[in-house]
Structure 1
Amino acid sequence: MILVTGGLGMIGAHTARALVDLGQEVVVTSHRRAEIPSFLAGKVAVERLDVTDRDAFLALGGRYDVSDIVHLAGSIPGEDPVAFFRTDMTGLLNALDAARAWGVRRFAVASSLGVYLGASETPWHEELALPTADLPHLIVAFKKAVEPITTHALQGSGVQPVVLRIGSTWGPLMDPESPFNAIPPYISAVLRGERPGPLHAGDGGDSCYAPDAGRAIALLMTTETLRHDTYNVSSGRGFTHRELVDGLQAITPGLELDLLPGGQPGPHLDITRLTKDTGFAPAFDVAAAVADYVAWRSGNPR
């Protein structure tokens, strides 16, 4: 059985769904979120768990035969950065304790494309030396620290670390007004009948639809042999606002949206390593992702 912490969040839920589709038994944990997505109902075991509670975390091993762990649980920083780091670090260390105590095969942990910030070479690939750079957010700073902590903590344990450098992911279950990705708020405005502010047609960058991200992580957990400990998880191509607008107009005849000329597409993640080791290829291009997300939102608030 595979344990997914934070398994009712956006990436966690889609990872759990993909694991189930691959024939795996899955237990997900959630601390604050109680609503189970329709696509997981009756298909996974659900445990209420505060991952900062070490005893409660380790007790899961007495109820489930956990073979692998995907640690995606995390919090949103408040005004106190120390409290944020303490909470998420405690959760990570408890998950690592569990991995060692239970003797799992693989331990995957969420990192971020933000670790590459400051790298001039694009697209960003796993063999790049990570630059020293001012990081824009506490979450990115923590994710960058997660990588060596995880790999060092598992040395000599027999547990294979899998560092997930996850790209800019969006889709079903994301906060529709999320400050971390501009796509859901833009589409939400359109769904409300509003005309969102104009975008530059050429702006964009890395983008991955959540079901694709979940499937990539699931493949990394189930593929028999992984040749590396670190993998980029994304679509493997950049997207532009032109594609976003085209996708919305394709499913909404007569929809008028403003696009400004110019723009800068920005860097994106190279997923060659992921594809070679697992056979992953994204199922959604931008147009298909937009259509699927709009259909999902017709019956769901997020």
Structure 2
Amino acid sequence: MSDRDILVTGGAGFIGSHLVRQLTDAGANVLVADNCFSGTPSLVPAGARLETVDIRDEEFADLIRAFEPTDVVHLAALHYIPYCNANPEEAFQVNTMGTRKLVSAARDLPGLDTMVFASSAAVYPPRKGPNSEASETGPMDIYGETKLVGEDLMRLFHRETGVPTVTARLFNVYGPSETNEHLVPAVLEQVRRGNREIELGNLTPKRDFVHVSDVARALRTLLAEFEGGYGTYNVGTGTEWSVREVVEQTSEALGEEIEVVQDEDRVRESDRPHLQADISRIRADFGWEPEVEFVAGLRDLLEQDEEVVVA
């Protein structure tokens, strides 16, 4: 990728910073656009250029036109569902209108080869069993709604420009440097405080947890190998873990007994019971497979904290 000029929106965030590191290691010239609302400038590797800018502003459109990227990966969004539910207008402005601002500016780019959009498994309705890309969509929260509209904007962008455009529906991403208060960091944060009785919300929902390094590799694969048209790909593992099972596996990795209790203040009425990926399409088209097994990923996270001794 040494001949690629790649714009990564949200590149100072959790997933973005891992992707940017992989791209710069491959020799790409990377421009990160991030307002650092949840992103962290120190996560951006030295080989990339960071511009602190909001994707809703005209300054962002000017930045795109001046940089003239060969490729764009659009990750910038408000991701944390409780925050989006509490601030629906802001979620719409950032996730939908920000995406609209991006595609509007990108229409004028003379040498754009590929557009990659990070969508979410939140576009699917509650469903027992794996979700394929052909499964019916039906978001149950404002975050999923904004991502589904973003997919429509990307589809329209491809239709109007002919630029190869690919959507990645990401399942539950975990790993180092996570910036939102999702399940895995909530568990580990309490363990790191010395708690062995973990307070969580709903305990029965099952999720498909995929390591951030695998997600970054999937995005890089789509960027490099998607050849044309418009495509949609799930990025997950195909395996579900319940909240209780996550705590049990954390206990096993730690080598200590951990109990879990339900905190009614943390319970979400809207939590879906299942969310699982069918990854047969990305496997068949690109040979991509997740490499980090979930329990091994948890153990690595625990071992990265010097204050936690892993058996």
- The interval holding the TM-score normalised by the smaller chain is 0.7 to 0.9
SS in structure 1 of the partner of residue 276 of structure 2: coil
1:285–1:240 Cα change, 3 Å = farther
Q: How far, CA to CA, are the matches of 1:83 and 1:274 in structure 2?
A: 32
Give aligned pairs, total. Answer: 286
What TM-score, normalized by structure 2, do the two folds share?
Answer: 0.80
The AA in structure 1 aligned to 2:160 is G
Corresponding residue of 1:100: 107
Structure 2 unaligned blocks of 5 or more: 262-271
1:147 aligns with 2:168: no
Following TM superposition, the consecutive aligned residue runs of length 4 or more in structure 1 with deviations greater than 6 angstroms are 198-202
Name the aligned partner's letter for residue 278 of structure 2: D
- Partner Cα distance (2:7, 2:173) in 1: 21
Matches within 5 A, 1:47-62: 47-62=51-66
In structure 2, what is the equivalent of residue 285 of structure 1? 293
Q: Does 1:124 align with 2:128?
A: no
2:218 corresponds to which residue? Answer: 216
AA matched with 1:192: R
Q: Is the 1:6–1:71 contact (alpha carbons within 8 Å) kept by the matching residues of 2?
A: yes
- Compared CA separation, residues 282 and 220, structure 1 to 2 (3 A): same
Say if 2:211 is the partner of 1:206: no
| SS in structure 1 at match of 2:94 | helix
1:219-250 Cα distance to aligned partner (Å, 9 max, x none):
11111536751111122322245653454344
For residue 167 of structure 1, report the CA deviation from its aligned partner.
0.5
Does the CA-based 8 Å contact 2:17-2:45 persist in structure 1? no
Aligned to 1:252: 254
The correspondence for 1:84, drawn from 86, 91, 96, is: 91
Q: CA RMSD in A?
A: 2.9
**Against the structure 1 CA distance between its residues 8 and 295, is the aligned structure 2 distance closer, same or farther, given a 3 Å change threshold?**
farther
Letter in 1 for 2:123: V
CA distance in 1, matches of 2:260, 2:85: 35
Summarize deviations over 1:95-153 as a string: whole Å, max 9, x none.
10232211411111222111111445x2100012324xxx4421111112111122013
Residue correspondence of structure 1 range 187-206 to structure 2 within 5 A:
187-194=188-195, 195-197=197-199, 204-206=206-208
Deviates more, 1:46-55 or 1:226-235: 226-235
> For residues 156 and 35 of structure 1, do their structure 2 counterparts lie closer, same or farther at Cα, with a shift above 3 Å needed?
closer
Counterpart residue type for residue 285 of structure 1:
E
Give 1:57 deviation, angstroms: 2.5
1:295 aligned to 2:303? Answer: yes
| Equivalent in the alignment of 2:72 | 69
Q: How far, CA to CA, are the matches of 2:137 and 2:143 in structure 1? A: 17
Deviations 1:15-65 (A, max 9, x none): 212223444332211113574345x43121111111111344333432x34
Cα deviation, residue 13, structure 1: 1.2
Q: What residue in structure 2 maps to residue 11 of structure 1?
A: 15
- Which range is displaced more, 101-110 or 1-10? 101-110
2:161 to 157, 163, 169: 157
**Partner-residue secondary structure (3-state), 1:281:** coil
Structure 1 residue aligned with 2:120: 112
CA 1:266–1:90 in structure 2 vs 1: closer, same or farther (change >3 Å)? Answer: closer
Shift of 1:169: 1.3
Between the two proteins, what is the percent identity of the paired residues?
A: 25
**One-letter amino acid of the counterpart of residue 41, structure 1:** P
Once the two structures are overlaid, the 10-residue window that deviates more, 1-10 or 199-208, is 199-208
Q: Structure 1 stretches of 5 or more lacking a match? A: none
1:79 CA displacement = 5.1
SS of residue matched to 2:277? coil
Whole-Å Cα distance in 1 between the matches of residues 77 and 200 of structure 2? 33
**Residues 76-108 of structure 1: CA distance to partner in whole angstroms, max 9, x if unpaired?**
537553343233322111210232211411111
C-alpha separation in 2, matches of 1:239 and 1:35 = 29
Q: Which moved more, 1:195-204 or 1:137-146?
A: 195-204
The farther-off stretch of 224-233 and 150-159 is 224-233
Q: Is the 8 A contact 2:205 2:274 kept in 1?
A: yes
